[in-house]
Structure 1
Amino acid sequence: MKKQAACLAVLGTGSDVGKSIVTTALCRILVNRGLRVAPFKAQNMSNNSGVTAEGAEMGRAQIVQAEAARVAPHCDMNPVLLKPVSDVGAQVVLNGAAWIDASARSYTGKKEFLFAESRAALDRLRQRYDLILLEGAGSCAEVNLMAHDIVNLRMAAYARAPVVLVADIDRGGVFAQIVGTLACLSPEEQDRISGFVINRFRGDLTLFQPGIDWIEQRTGKPVFGVLPWFKHFHIEAEDAVVIEGPKLARHNSLDADRPTIGVIRLPHISNFTDFDPLAQLPDCRLVYLEQPQSLAQLQAVILPGSKATSTDLQWLDQTGWQEHLRRYVDDGGHLLGICGGYQMLGTWVHDPDGIEGPPGSTRGLGLLPVETVLKAPKTTTRTTFTWGGIAGCGYEIHMGQSRCPDGQSLLCVQDRNGTSCNDADGCISADQRVMGTYMHGFFDTPAITRRWLSGIGLSHVAVDQLHGPAARDRAYDQLAEHAAAYLDIEAIIALLPRDLQERLSHRS
């Protein structure tokens, strides 16, 4: 029997402290040193998901990490994905396929089964790689949840993985984060923590040396490094927390000196990373809008994907957004809907089986002649398409189908999950100012982005060939260089089994 791969776990003192970034950096650093590396996160909670070549759904954070490790994403890297549809309920995606809708309470009762499924997925990965980098979820010291933990210290113990604990100094209280986390753990769990990485530092690193000394003296464990903030490259974010709060634009905060594209920040927004390629364009600005406001100053507006289309449609109506969107289109504005946003642009969204809540129908914006029926099974495909003869690729994740009149479809679909087809996708209005598509990753192809920009009057905005996947790959190298400059990579490698240390020492 083939020897199982070694494992190293990256856990956190809380949510959004930098676990994903540190794991992504280590994926690229160690694959560059010659190891076959794969990421693993037993349970992820996010509406930001993607599709593998096999048509399986998984969290985008692990897709990013797989890209950084230069391996094909596989649902074994994220066997359990929770896609929230309310504050207390979520769709559970198991091994790449929609499984059940569960409340938080009912989900807890399924944890042992899901822990077994996650262990099996990890075991399969360990047969194919040299090293598995396990990422945790939230805080690894949530004492009320630890008995049913399937993703943090319990999984690290199963994998016999030493743990690097990540803390975020930017949010304050980094000393309490670290010491408090250890204080919540049993002696055995404390022993599994090998050391710390402190993330998001601002200022002069030399001034923090007394703090490092205090942490090491107090805990008896090393600080593997302090990562400063970075702004010279961009890595896809895992959770929508990055587009919340002060980063949302208000009507008086929009730049007048360059064209601006607005994305409506829906309550159940999904796959917001669709717009990262636009956000990286130097000659225009991308903003997220939550408070209803005039859209007249925007070059284009995008309705993004949603995990709860009917609920978010009602939110648009109740908040006054529908009126602003219709006025914007009446005044000549350009509006694009993607996935759930595309469904909202139509006349009706029907949910006869109660896929998203109580059965019924919700009136759409009526800006496209499209009618949608939500129904199982979920479509999850890697898709190639053409738009006016320009080839592109993306992925689809949606419940239900939308009917568009003949002659008004937007894209010609050529292939889904490796199977040739001759289908249509999306819809475009007669004046070509309102369009919708199910295609996530629409802006990953430079030529597609150029065509869309030209259609909204921004043909002068330059789109580099280093765009989409190519830009992401360059960013992984920049992240690896940044991390290697500030982390003691050799000390982290010393946590691995001796045979891997020897292999890495011969290649360094």
Structure 2
Amino acid sequence: MSAEIKQAKCIAVLGTGSDVGKSVIATALCRIFSDRGYKVAPYKAQNMSNNSGVTPEGLEMGRAQIVQAEAARIAPHVDMNPVLLKPVTQIGSQVVLLGKVHKDLSAAQYHREKEKLWDTACGALDRLRAPNDVVVLEGAGSCAEVNLMARDIVNLKMAAYAKAPVILTADIDRGGVFAQIVGTLACLNKAEQDLIAGFVINRFRGDIALFKEGVEWIKKKTGKPVFGVLPWINHHIPNEDSVVIERPEAKTDPVKTPTVLVVRTPHISNFTDFDALFQVGGLAVDFVEHPIDLSAYKAIILPGSKSTRSDLFWLVKTGWASKIQAYVKNGGHVLGICGGYQMLGTKVRDPEGLEGPPGDTDGLGLLLLETVLKAPKTTTISRFEWDGIPGLGYEIHMGRTAGADRIALGKKSNDGLLRVKERNQQACTEFDGAVANSGRVMGTYMHGFFDSVPILKKWLSLLGLNELEPPEFCGPQGRDRQYDTLARHFEKYVDVAAIVKVTNID
């Protein structure tokens, strides 16, 4: 008689809509299960986000599951996010399968490949279940999009495959929480309704006792328990989605408060690069879409981009390009990260048409460098130094950037802003990025540049902001403390024992 193959129990966190807090609740559960001695792993069958990261093996996956792996105290692995969609147009995405670029697909083409993607996703979950005690599944958007449910591989279909009881998450802050919950159930058939084990109501503001009658109404109406009502918490855990970039506008008077402006380009990626800046006491950070007067800002940042040439064209068309060039001429500081770094050069060349029709696009001309877009994609976890100060970041980009003479010879830059000491655990002696002679324009491919407190302090000092107080910890250390804070907050207001019981882990 063959030995029974172990399979971890699963619990699924699905939502009544997008940005209701699924990622954060899944993160809390990962830390809580880990605290209780269980081997726990996160999982999301399909992620749609340009906010990605790199595993220790040098493979690409969604940052939300990297965060959840950190909370679970394990290394991230692509089985935790087997399908990653990175939007490149309004109707198409680059598809990353098990950490590697598969191909660009339109929405229609993608749906025709769903059977293959479903098999890939199921295989990844099966592998995750073998060495673990529990797997925390996260859904995507609303689990009751009736026009999409037949082709959905991430919400209820995956929960059913995993035999995972579902925690349905609703956001009371956006209003209509009763309709969110009851309306979601009304869109489901009986078998799907039976998967819902109960509810967590997220982002409550005010006196929680005043919602007691609401909780009782939901229980009576649905016949299902409310596991808890979570008060709003101002955490610093990276989100998969961010209201900051969805509602981009100048919120601060830069004359009164030292402020850094991040240009909200149409194809912005890896916006979590700037989370550490939000934690600097006395510093404001504004994501801004429409060009405004830049003269009072301490620095302008061009973020990563999923489509560098398209965003460059947008910078010129909207007037951002001329404003940024004038800002530098008048003594302003500019930092470009990844795609933003490429935009600071003189040319972005795309001979193979990786971002659309082959051709060249003029850059902002603020660094005397050219970029040639070229496969394969670079995906590394990298250790680096900036003037001897150590940092740890990650690189995700297509192409090579260097002086025009070295690009023509197919060589890398022989100097730069950063000295790279290690990539994917392999020692190296290379350079990354560049800095203008003035010292006021800098670019780097390094995501996570600000995740080292000494590097953050050095950058602030270049802006003349020595008096500001960076956080005591940022990056992995800072996030680890936030996971503990979130877990204790969750345990205070949510019946964790009931969730453990429905998970049937004991």
1:145 is matched with 148
> In the alignment, is residue 186 of structure 1 matched against residue 185 of structure 2?
no
SS at match of 2:6: coil
The yes-or-no answer on 1:124 pairing with 2:131 is: no
Q: Do structure 1's residue 154 and structure 2's residue 154 form an aligned pair? A: no
Q: TM-score, normalised by structure 1?
A: 0.95
The question of 1:459 aligning with 2:466 is answered yes
2:58 alignment partner in structure 1: 55
Give, in whole Å, the separation in 1 of the partners of 2:5 and 2:387.
50
- 1:329 corresponds to which residue? 328
Partners of 1:282 and 1:261 in 2: how far apart? 13
Out of 401, 426, 445, the residue aligned to residue 433 of structure 2 is 426
2:11 maps to amino acid = L
2:25 pairs with one of 19, 22, 25: 22
State how far apart, in whole Å, the 2-side matches of 1:407 and 1:89 are: 37
Q: Is the 8 A contact 1:201 1:228 kept in 2?
A: yes
* Structure 1 pair 407–334 and aligned structure 2 pair: CA distance change class (3 A): farther
Paired with 2:255 and 2:211, the residues of 1 have a C-alpha distance of: 40
Q: Distance in 2 between matches of 1:367 and 1:407?
A: 19
Separation of aligned partners in 1, 2:461 and 2:254: 21
1:153 and 1:242 map into 2 onto residues whose CA distance is 29
Q: Secondary structure at the match of 2:335?
A: strand
Q: After TM superposition, give the deviation of residue 286 of structure 1 in Å.
A: 1.2
Q: Which runs of 5+ in 1 are unaligned?
A: 502-508
**2:477 maps to what in 1?**
470
Matched-pair contact (CA < 8 Å) for 2:139–2:155: yes
Secondary structure of the residue that 1:430 maps to in structure 2?
coil
Equivalent AA in structure 2 for residue 249 of structure 1: A
The residue that corresponds to 1:350 in the other structure is 349
Match of 1:249 in 2: 250
Q: What's the CA shift for 1:255?
A: 4.4
Percent identity of equivalent pairs:
61
List per-residue Cα deviations over 1:57-81 (Å, max 9, x = no partner). 0000001111111111111100000
**For 2:24, what is the secondary structure of its paired residue?**
helix
RMSD over aligned Cα atoms: 1.3
After superposition, give the CA deviation of every residue in 1:68-103 in whole Å (9 maximum; x if it has no partner).
111111111000000001110100010001111000
Q: Which residue of 2 aligns with 1:338?
A: 337
Could you tell me which residue of structure 1 aligns to residue 410 of structure 2? none
Q: In 1, are the aligned partners of 2:382 and 2:394 still within 8 Å (CA)?
A: yes
- C-alpha change, 1:241 and 1:352, in structure 2 (3 Å) is farther
Deviations 1:354-405 (A, max 9, x none): 1111111110000001100111100000011111111111000001111147
Alpha carbons 1:8, 1:163 under 8 Å: kept: yes
Letter of the aligned partner of 1:8 in structure 2? I
The Cα shift of 1:201 comes to: 1.0
Corresponding residue SS for 2:336: strand
Q: SS of the residue aligned with 2:341?
A: helix
**C-alpha deviation, 1:323, in angstroms:** 1.0
Question: Which residue of structure 2 aligns with residue 484 of structure 1?
Answer: 491
For 2:472 and 2:5, how far apart are their aligned partners in 1? Answer: 42
Distance 2:421 2:414 in 1: 17
Q: What's the offset of the Cα at 1:124?
A: 0.7
Amino acid at match of 2:475: G
Instruction: Tell me how far apart the structure 2 counterparts of residues 448 and 461 of structure 1 sit (CA, whole Å).
Output: 14
Structure 1 CA distance, aligned partners of 2:308 and 2:254? 30
**1:349 positional shift:** 0.5
Q: 1:257 & 1:72 partners in 2: Cα distance?
A: 43
What is the CA-CA distance between 1:262 and the residue it aligns to?
A: 1.0
Amino acid at match of 1:129: N
Bigger Cα displacement from structure 2, 457-466 vs 387-396: 457-466
Shift of 1:408: 5.2
More moved, 294-303 vs 397-406: 397-406
Match of 1:7 in 2: 10
Q: CA deviation at 1:450?
A: 1.4
Counterparts in 2 of 1:301-450, with a 5 A limit?
Answer: 301-404=300-403, 409-450=416-457
Cα distance, 1:418 vs structure 2 = 1.1
Aligned with 1:494: secondary structure? Answer: helix
Q: C-alpha distance in 1, partners of 2:229/2:173?
A: 12
Q: Which amino acid aligns with 1:121?
A: A
Is the 8 Å Cα contact of residues 281 and 471 (structure 2) preserved in structure 1? no
Answer yes or no: is the 8 Å Cα contact 1:408–1:428 preserved in 2: no
Aligned residue pairs total: 495
Listed one character per residue, the Cα deviations across residues 465-501 of structure 1 (whole Å, up to 9, x for unaligned) are 412211111111111111111111111111122xx33
One-letter amino acid matched to 1:74: H
Show the counterpart of 1:206: 209
Name the amino acid aligned to 1:237: N
CA separation in 1, counterparts of 2:389 and 2:205? Answer: 44
For residues 462 and 482 of structure 2, what CA distance do their matches in structure 1 show? 29
1:2 positional shift: 4.1
Alpha-carbon distance between aligned partners in 2 of 1:265 and 1:78, rounded to the nearest angstrom: 26
Contact 1:12 1:139 in 2 (8 A): yes
Structure 2 match to 1:85: 88
Cα distance in 1 for partners of 2:470, 2:254 equals: 20
Per the alignment, in what secondary structure is the counterpart of residue 316 of structure 1?
A: helix
Aligned pairs for 1:490-501 (under 5 A) are 490-497=497-504, 500-501=505-506
Over 3 Å counting, the alpha-carbon distance change for 1:389 and 1:171 in structure 2 is same
**Among 238, 241, 244, which residue is 1:239 paired with?**
241
Specify the alignment match of 1:505 in structure 2.
none
C-alpha contact (below 8 Å) 2:415/2:431 kept by paired residues: no
Q: For residues 412-461 of structure 1, what are the alpha-carbon distances to aligned partners after superposition, in whole Å with 9 as ceiling and x for unaligned? A: 11111111111111111011110100000001111111111112212222
Inter-partner Cα distance in structure 2 for 1:350 and 1:358: 11
Taking structure 2 as the reference length, the TM-score comes to: 0.96
Work out the CA distance in 2 between the residues paired with 1:234 and 1:400. Answer: 32
**Number of the residue aligned with 2:278:** 279
What letter is aligned with 1:65? Q
Hey, what's the Cα distance between the residues in 1 that align with 2:243 and 2:236?
Answer: 16
Query: 1:170-196 deviations in whole A, cap 9, x for unaligned?
Result: 111111111111111110110010100
Contact 1:28 1:480 in 2 (8 A): yes
1:267 corresponds in structure 2 to 266
Match of 1:112 in 2: 115
Per-residue CA shift, 1:104-154, capped at 9, x if unaligned? 110000111001000100011111211000000011111111111110010
Alpha-carbon distance in structure 2 between the residues aligned to 1:470 and 1:389: 21
1:165 alignment counterpart: 168
Tell me the distance in 2 between the aligned counterparts of 1:378 and 1:63: 19
1:234-278 Cα deviation digits (max 9, x unpaired): 211112444222x6215xx42433311111111111000000001
Structure 2 unmatched ranges of 5 or more: 407-412
Maintained 8 Å contact 2:15/2:140: yes
